[in-house]
Every structure is written in C-alpha cells, then in structure tokens.
Chains A and B, each alone.
Chain A
Amino acid sequence: MRWSAIAVLLVLTGGATIAAEDRWSSAPARPGGDVVMRIVSVEDEDENPLAAGKAAAEALKRAMGPSALKVVLVSECFEDRENKEKTLKGITSVLPETIVVGGATYGSFTQDGCTDYDSVCLLGIGGDGIAVSAALVTDLGTAKLTYDGHQAEIQELLHTAGRKLAEKLRRTDQDRLLILVADAHAPKNQSLVEGMQQVVGKPFPITGGCANKNAGQTFVYFGGKAHPDSAVALMLAGDFRVALSGRQANENEKVIATARDGAQEALSKAGGKPIAVLAFNCAGRRSKLKKHEDELAAMQSALGEEVPLFGCYCAGEIGPVDMAEKGDAFSGGAGWHVMFTVLTK
C-alpha cells in the first residue's frame, strides 16, 4: 500500500487500525502524552435529527481543537430507528464513522445542563496519551427473555457474549478502564459484566450503561451504525488514572444526595484535577426527581461546574454496585444507580 493510501485510510478511520468489522484499535498511547476529553450536546428543536447530529459533530470537532479524536461516544434519544440513523448520518458526515460508538439512551446531561427527548450528546476522547480499543458483539439473544423465566439461559448467553466481547479487545499493560454499552438492561447487565470479568479479571474497573430498552429503540452504535441486541466495549489505555464510585437510590431526596456523595467519593479517590467525569445514570432515578436539574446541581456541587461531564440516562448501570450483595468483583451490573468515573492525569 502506498503511503498516500495509508494516510487516506487513517483519516477515514480516525487513525484506528481496523482488525475486523467488529473490532478496532487506535495507535498505542504515548507515555506522557496528552489526554483530551470534550463533551458537547445538541437538542433538536427543528425535528431534524440529521442536522442535530451534524451540529453536534461540528461542535465536538471545534472543542477538540488540534487533538486527534480516538473515539466518539454517542448518547442520543431520538425516537425510532429512522431518526436515530439520521442522527448517526449527521455525525458521520463530519467525523470518521469507524470511531463513532455508543448507544440509544433516555437522555443526557453535561457540564452545561440536562437534555431530554430528541437530543444527542458526544464525548470525544483524543490526544496521543490515550489509546482506545473497541469491539462489538451482536445477537446477544436475550432481548425477549425475562430474568424471572429464563435466568439460567440469560446467564449462559451473556457470560458467553461478555467473554467474546472482552477477547476482541486489544490488551496492554496500560489498560485503565473498560466502558460497556449494551442492550442488556438490569438485571441482565450483571451477567454480561461477569462474562467480561472472566477475561479481564474481577478487579478491573468497568463502567457503562445499558441502552434504552423501549420497544424499537434498543440500539448500540459501532462503526457509525446501529445494532440491535448487541453490546460494545471500549478499552481505554494510557498514562492516566481512574477512580470510580456507585450509588443507588429511588426517591427524590436520596437521588440528589447520592449523586453528590458518589461524585464526591470518586473525586476524592482520584486526586488531582479531573480530565473528565463519566456518569452513567439510571433513567428511573431521573423519573423520581421533582426537578431534573437538581441531581446535576448536586453532582456539580462536588465536581465543580467546569469539569467536562458526560452523563447519560440508561436502563441499567455498570460500575461499583451499591448493594449489600455485591460479591467480590470491583464492578457489577445493577439498576437505580449512578456510576461515576473520574479520570485524572
């Protein structure tokens, strides 16, 4: 392959090395290199998801400045596949489709506020100090199974899927955090996490959220495409630290208090100035709030208002479970949680 062709390919893929359609990895992280995370969100007020996706992608590109994007994590809540695919088309009209991953959620929140229906939020991760490996598994086979009636079958299917997903990821000694977005909502998410832990080990930090499980909305995104009944994973590696916390609540005051306490705990454990904060939150928690903004305000009372914050409302959360029966693994899958990750240099 001529150098010019390689250069074109790298631009088209955002610098990712494509090993197969269901996995890719970026260039390795440079020791001491920059880690850049930026978050943007756009609410569609014109019933034009294509334009909203494009506007969000352009805003992210501007926000990243000269830092090359390694991956873009999408949280969007347009209704129905047609509108979701238009949103993705808008995003990938600006950004390389290979590196666009994520899922359908129930809404997002950022350092700038909360969004509801018909919005798209993008987390851009870039810089030469961070490396990303991404993978997809499809056909999980559990979407129409209830945990009550098919527990053993769900566990077997999702343990297998979790193992497969983790095995597709490139592993390095700089691996720091695994982000999982899956159509395997609580309580099924626990089984998927267990499957991944069979490969990466129980102590490894895993966070993430489960895709919107409303009928016809249950998509995860990989390579700029929508996939039902699937899961995606991102392994972040590099010279940075992560600190995680998880809190569970389902009443207004407790949702607010746990958001503040969880954010404070992760920040305290992290030490140093945060690069960014991830918050995979429960849509059910949001529904218990008298004012959606109250929970974000509580988080920001601990984190400050300037820290880049990527938050999304999910159908199950992944991280340090806040329950008595949580087992010996660092992370698990549960519901009614907010799972924080603070990334610091």
Chain B
Amino acid sequence: MRHPPFLGPYASRLVPIALVLTAASAPWAASRSEAAEPVALRVDSFAVSPAHTPSAVVHVKNLTQACYEGVVRVKAPAGWSLKMEQQSVALAAGDTKQLRYLVQRGVAVEENSYSLEVSAAGAGATVAHRQNVAAASAPYFKPQVDGDASDWKDAIPVTWTTRAKATTVSTYWNRKQFAVLIAVAEDRLVPLEAGGSSRTFDAVQLAISSHDAPTDSAPDGDAGRYEFLLAPTSPSAGRCFLLAIPGTRLAQTQSVRELEALAYGDAELAVWRKDGITYYECAVPFKLIRDDIPPGEGREFCLSVLVHDPDGTGIRDWGEAAGLWPWQRNRLAWSQWQGAAWGERPPFDNKTPWGMCSSKY
C-alpha cells in the first residue's frame, strides 16, 4: 500500500496519527513496536485443503526506509513437508512481496486451523510470526437453498470467534452458482423491519472479487467487487441486496443508501435460526460474476465477510481473523447502507483470498 487508505467518516479521527506517520515518511498505520521490526509478516489462507498440496503464501513487507535483504523461513505443522522451507528476499524501502512455499504433504484437521511459524532473518534482526491459517476453499457442489444445512457436510468450514461468539462460513461452487452458508452464533436475532427503517439490524455483508483487483484508494475509484448484503426479515426469511459491482464508484458505496433500491432478486436465500445460531444460506448466480471470476477448479479469488451483530458483538470481520495487517483496514472496502452500525475503526480490506476446489476428499 503506497498511499494512506481513504478513511471516509474516520478521517477526522485519524488525522493526528496520519500526520505523525507522514512526518516519519511512513504511509501505513503501524504501531511503534511494529515499526521497530524491519519487516512485517503474514500468511494467506490456503486455497485448497492441506492434503491437496496448497502453497503457503507469505507476505513480507519492508517497514524500514532502507533496502532489506533477508531469509524467510516457514515452519509447517508437525507431519507436514514443504518443497522449500526457506527463501531469500530483497525488498526496497516500503515494498511488499509474496513468497510461495509449496506444501508437499499436509494433513487436514477437522478444526481447519493450522499453526504456521514464519521467521525473517535480515537487517540484523530476526522477526518471528506465528499465525493460525485456515483452508478457505469452496468445493464443487450443487446445494439446495432450502433452509436445511445437511447439504453442507462436504464443505470446508472456516470458523472464527469474536467476543466469544463463533461465525462459520462454508462455501460451494458449481457452474451456475456460488453458494455460502454462514452460521452466526448470537443471543438474539434483530431482523430488518419491513418498509425501510434506520434502526440497526443483524446482517451479513459479503464481498467477492477477482484476486488481482486491489481496492482502489480514492473515492472516485472503482469498487472492483461484487458486494452483497444478506438481511433477515424474520427468524425464517431474508432478503439479498446487491450493494456494489465492478464499475460502481467508491464514493457511491460510501453514501448511506436505502436498501430497497438495491434488492437483488436473482439470489436464492434461506434464513433460519436454530439453537442460538442464525443461518444464512445463499446462492448467487455466476452469470453476474462470471466475467471477473469464471467458475473453475483451482480458481483463486477474494471473498470476505462482515457479520453485523449490532446488539451483540458488533462487527465480526473475517479480514481480521484471516491475519490482515493492522494498517489494512479500509473503509472504502465496504459499502455503507441504511441500518448499518459500524465500529470505531473501519473494517479490514475485503481482499482475503479464497479458492474454488474440486472436493475436500
């Protein structure tokens, strides 16, 4: 990220910090302790199950004002083997690179969480980073969107916890549809009221984009994503809204729009509630997104999820759970809408990688 992200309604709050960073010629919002380390490290989610030899993609960012040369080493979980455990990297000041480490043997576990240790030795320091990485991958399947979760046993669920409440995202693809099942543990369901209301309500916001479409940094830029809002209208029904498509101006996404005009009838959506969990089962047609994200085995794209739980946990952000860096928060990455309750800080960018795979077996 070469420019500070456009911060929208948060800009005034962050101006003093931005000035400090500008004085230090640092365009990112890193804390002082992080800036003391020469590089920052993070790992992308796996695009396929570990058993199917994914790559561990490590992002390395030079936090110094000088060139950085070092060796980046990845330690995989016990029982795994990598084709290459370490690679050299050279970075100009402020630059970021991706290094890929092919998993030759990986072992999938039910929890779908894998602890990776990454270290970077260079510039007189060794930076260590440990991250739990998930396989974020959609197997091929044709689910019935019918309010019955039994179709989803062959998915690869990704779970994260926000203030002791779990969110689980499962995905499928087929040639005609991209489908999600999102299970939101919450004490109470607050539905969207009929007729439009400014009252806050529970919802799930999804952003789907091509893997090579970074979020633009200026309000006159392109949204570059397909963005949906799934809103319950009762404990057993819901509606889908299409908030943005590639070509939508980012400035437009930042205006608080009435949802009724954004209703998207081509999506199939079932909402139900069981045992303290709200389920959103939704399939969107590929005819909408095919030009940017053609369906196919091995396809890599970006999928990110925000859960809105205004009377409970507040925002639950997959970008945070997926390990994005603190300075990758970006207001422009998510549309405003009538009834949304945002937190004090902007959500994370929506460019978290996801894959389409053939099967988890």
Contacts and interface: CB of A to CB of B under 8 A. Distances in A.
A287 B108 contact: no
Interface stretch (B159-167, B215-223, B353-361): B353-361
Given A213-B361, A287-B300, A148 B175 contact: no
A109 interface: no
B361 A143 contact: yes
Interface residues of B, number: 30
A134 to B, nearest CB: 26
A146 B154 CA distance: 11
Contacts of B139: 214-215
B299 to A, nearest CB: 6
Contacts of A117: 175
A286 B139 CA distance: 17
A146 B298 contact: no
Interface of A: 79, 106, 117, 143-148, 185-187, 212-217, 250-251, 283-284, 286-288, 315, 323-325, 335-336
B92 to A, nearest CB: 22
B51 A147 contact: yes
Contact of A148 (B83, B102, B107): B107
A79 B175 contact: yes
Interface string B132-162: 0000000111100000000000100000000
Contacts of A284: 48, 52, 297-298
Contacts of B142: 215-216
B172 to A, nearest CB: 9
Nearest to A212: B358
B359 A214 contact: yes
B194 interface: no
B109 interface: yes
A213 B298 contact: no
A145 B102 CA distance: 24
A146 B53 contact: no
Q: Top 4 A-B pairs ranked by shortest CB distance? A: A287-B298, A214-B140, A284-B298, A148-B108
Nearest to B299: A287
Contact of A335 (B53, B107, B299, B359): B53
A283 B52 CA distance: 12
A213 B361 CA distance: 8
B55 interface: yes
Contact of B297 (A106, A144, A186, A325): A106
Contacts of B108: 146, 148
Interface string B104-118: 110111000000000
Contacts, number: 73
Interface in B256-314: 296-300
19 contacts: A79-B175, A146-B360, A148-B108, A185-B359, A186-B52, A187-B51, A187-B52, A212-B358, A213-B361, A250-B100, A251-B100, A283-B297, A284-B52, A284-B297, A284-B298, A315-B358, A335-B53, A336-B53, A336-B102
A287 B361 contact: no
A148 B297 contact: no
B81 interface: yes
Interface of B: 48, 50-53, 55, 81, 83, 100, 102, 104-105, 107-109, 139-142, 154, 175, 296-300, 358-361
A320 B240 CA distance: 50
A57 B239 CA distance: 49
Given A147-B51, A187-B51, A287-B298, A214 B358 contact: yes
A127 to B, nearest CB: 35
Contacts of A217: 140
Given A215-B141, A335-B52, A250 B297 contact: no
Nearest to A188: B361
A286 B356 CA distance: 13
A185 B49 CA distance: 13
A104 B175 CA distance: 16
Given A143-B361, A284-B48, A336-B102, 10 more contacts: A146-B361, A186-B53, A187-B53, A213-B358, A217-B140, A250-B100, A284-B297, A284-B298, A323-B83, A323-B104
Contact of B361 (A145, A212, A335): A145
A187 B83 CA distance: 16
B298 A283 contact: yes
A145 B296 CA distance: 23
Nearest to B109: A148
A215 B81 contact: no
Given A143-B361, A146-B360, A214-B358, A287 B297 contact: yes
B296 A287 contact: yes
